[in-house]
Amino acid sequence: MRLTLRVWRQPDPDTPGAMVTYGIDGISEDMSFLEMLDTLNEELILKGEEPVAFDHDCREGICGACGVVIDGEAHGPERTTTCQLHMRHFEDGATIDVEPWRAGAFPVVKDLVVDRSAFDRIIGSGGYITVPTGAAPEAHATPVPKPAADLAFEHAECIGCGACVAACPNGSAMLFTSAKVNHLGVLPQGAPERETRVLDMVATMDEEGFGGCTLAGECATACPKGIPLQSISMMNREFLRATVRGR
């Protein structure tokens, strides 16, 4: 495959960036999008140019490290992570635009790398259960109803990649936060901190400068793990419940 890439290049957070055009040839349709970028970087290094910086880790679609906006869509045209997106989904000779996640709370570090530590701070404010560490408890000691286990698992699938924020016209982190709140909120292990969790995590989400939800639904469309839009309504319910109960 022969492709034309237009990639966002930005040397550091304080220098304004711009789209730079690169031609690339000999791309196999079986390559992942990241392998295609690797190929581009090899060529750039051989030419003595600065390679394109991008985040990646497991390349199995389970860690949430990778993620770029491809032709205006977070993670590109398929519902998967960027590392699991294959070049066969693009036409030979296509021009592809590659940009970093855009959100006030996700400042660009370099090229396609953004700082997503705001997510860590949301998790740190309540995305856990407080239990003494030690030996694993007896699995049957705490019965979990099957529907609750399914719901928790559905939300636990969130890998925190940030595609929801990147796709949202308001740069909102509601889908991410709701996935975490609902994951722990429906389980008996999460019950003791059910109220403080949602109040603290929403407060941190707001403090970090994420926007509000206008129910545009872009987040759920972009999510590679299929976290549904209803998760947001579920968290709103949890938030209002916790507010009225006074924690």
Partner 1 sequence: MLSMALATRTDRRPSLTRTLWASTIGKKTVMALTGLIMLGYLVAHMYGNLKIFFGPDSFNDYGHWLRVMGEPLLHEKWGLWIVRVVLVVAVVLHGVCAYQLSRRDLAARPSRYVHKRPRASYATRTMRWGGVILALFIVWHVLDLTTGTVHPGGFQPGRPYQNVVDTFSTWYGNVVYIVAMLALGLHVRHGFWSAAQTLGAGSATRDRLLRTTADLLALVLTAGFIAVPVAVMTGVVS
Binding site for partner 1 (CB under 8 A): 6, 8, 19, 69, 71-73, 97, 99, 102-105, 130, 132, 168-172, 192-193, 199, 202-203, 205-206, 209-218, 228-230, 232-241, 243-244, 246-247
Nearer to partner 1, 52 or 61 (CB): 52
Nearer to partner 1, 85 or 105 (CB): 105
Paired with 143 in beta bridges are: none
Instruction: Give me the least distance between CB of 243 and partner 1, in Å please.
Output: 5
Paired with 172 in beta bridges are: 211
Nearer to partner 1, 186 or 202 (CB): 202
Instruction: Give me the least distance between CB of 141 and partner 1, in Å please.
Output: 19
Nearest to 182 by CA among 162, 202, 167: 202
Instruction: Give me the least distance between CB of 169 and partner 1, in Å please.
Output: 6
Instruction: Give me the least distance between CB of 46 and partner 1, in Å please.
Output: 27
Nearer to partner 1, 23 or 192 (CB): 192
Q: Compute the CA torsion angle 172, 35, 7, 70 (nearest 10 deg).
A: -40
In which residue are the tokens 């030979």 written? Answer: 92
Starting at the edge strand found earlier in the chain, the sheet holding 3-9 runs 18-24, 3-9, 95-99, 69-70, 73-74
Residue 197, C-beta contacts closer than 8 angstroms, at least 6 positions apart: 126, 127, 181, 184, 185, 190
Instruction: Give me the least distance between CB of 30 and partner 1, in Å please.
Output: 25
Nearer to partner 1, 20 or 63 (CB): 20
Half-sphere exposure of 6 (CA within 13 A, CB side): 9
Q: Buried (b) or exposed (e) across 150-167, using 16+ Cβ within 10 A?
A: ebbebbbebbbbbbbbbb
219 in Cβ contact with 174 (< 8 Å): yes
Nearer to partner 1, 88 or 237 (CB): 237
Instruction: Give me the least distance between CB of 160 and partner 1, in Å please.
Output: 18
